[in-house]
């Protein structure tokens, strides 16, 4: 091998080693901080910060809509219903249908006023949508809090037992005597619940969302 060729090989070897060193981290991470590209642990300050950012993003949207399947139980009674829910600010339009019989109900209204259609004997009205539905059908749905809960938000009032996963999504919490559990999520920015379970004394609600639309006016 000539001296010139040997010099070229030495130069190439030295350059390759310098390139490898350049892509290596130049310094260690701060003590206690997650490594780059690694999700923070559940219930960490970083996870709660991600939760707050997600909450703010969702609350900016005045309207939304979902469709899915709802299973309700109260004592020994229960049933499965198809659900379509459209929300615009405080105004709601909830449509329920029984898959087997095809019977349909519509609960619509706003804060302090609700109308339930599809009943034998005609529509009923009342100031409390939850009570109106319970008295007419026996189904207990937390209508007042559900616009927040179905999106993975906490409603007005005290909350206990809040737990957050590594991506800043709620795992569960308790509010208004109900226990909420989030079992699955639709990916997106922000992610939205796919499966939500809610339970209170003597009652339970299970929601599986097949489609979300956020920003519906």
Residue 1 lies in a domain: no
Average pLDDT over residues 89-99: 96
Q: What pLDDT score was predicted for residue 67? A: 98
- The torsion region of residue 146 among left (phi > 0), alpha (psi -120 to 50) and beta comes to alpha
Number of structural domains in the chain: 1
182-207 confidence digits (pLDDT tens): 999 999 999 999 999 999 999 999 99
What CATH number has the domain bearing residue 198?
2.50.20.10
What HEC string does 148-194 produce?
HHCCCCCCCCCCEEEEECCCCCEEEEEECCEEEEEEEEECCCCCEEE
Residue 20 lies in a domain: no
141-196 confidence digits (pLDDT tens): 999 999 999 999 999 999 999 999 999 999 999 999 999 999 999 999 999 999 99
d(CA 35, CA 150): 33
Q: What pLDDT score was predicted for residue 43? A: 87
Backbone φ and ψ of 95, nearest 5°? -115, 130
Range of the domain at 163: 45-214
Residue 26 lies in a domain: no
Residue 23 lies in a domain: no
Residue 37 lies in a domain: no
d(CA 45, CA 197): 26
Beta pairing, strands 113-117 & 63-74: unpaired
Q: Which residue has the tokens 């800043």?
A: 168
Nearest Cα neighbor of 150 from 62, 88, 212 is 212
């Amino acid at each position: 091998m000539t001296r010139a060729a040997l010099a070229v090989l030495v130069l190439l070897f030295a350059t390759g080693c310098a390139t490898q060193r350049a892509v290596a981290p130049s310094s260690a991470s701060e003590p206690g901080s997650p490594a780059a590209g690694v999700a923070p642990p559940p219930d960490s300050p970083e996870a709660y910060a991600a939760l707050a950012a997600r909450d703010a993003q969702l609350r900016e949207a005045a309207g939304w809509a979902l469709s899915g399947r709802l299973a309700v139980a109260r004592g020994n009674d229960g049933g499965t219903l198809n659900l379509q829910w459209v929300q615009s600010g405080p105004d709601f339009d909830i449509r329920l249908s029984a898959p087997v019989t095809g019977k349909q109900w519509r609960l619509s209204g706003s804060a302090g006023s609700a109308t339930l259609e599809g009943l034998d004997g005609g529509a009923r009205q009342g100031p409390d949508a939850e009570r109106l539905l319970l008295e007419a059908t026996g189904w207990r749905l937390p209508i007042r809090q559900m616009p927040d809960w179905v999106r993975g938000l906490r409603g007005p009032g005290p909350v206990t037992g809040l737990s957050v996963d590594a991506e800043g999504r709620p795992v569960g919490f308790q509010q208004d005597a109900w226990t909420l559990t989030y079992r699955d999520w639709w990916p997106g920015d922000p992610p939205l619940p796919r499966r939500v379970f809610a339970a209170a004394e003597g009652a339970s609600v299970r929601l599986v969302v097949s489609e979300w639309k956020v920003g519906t006016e």
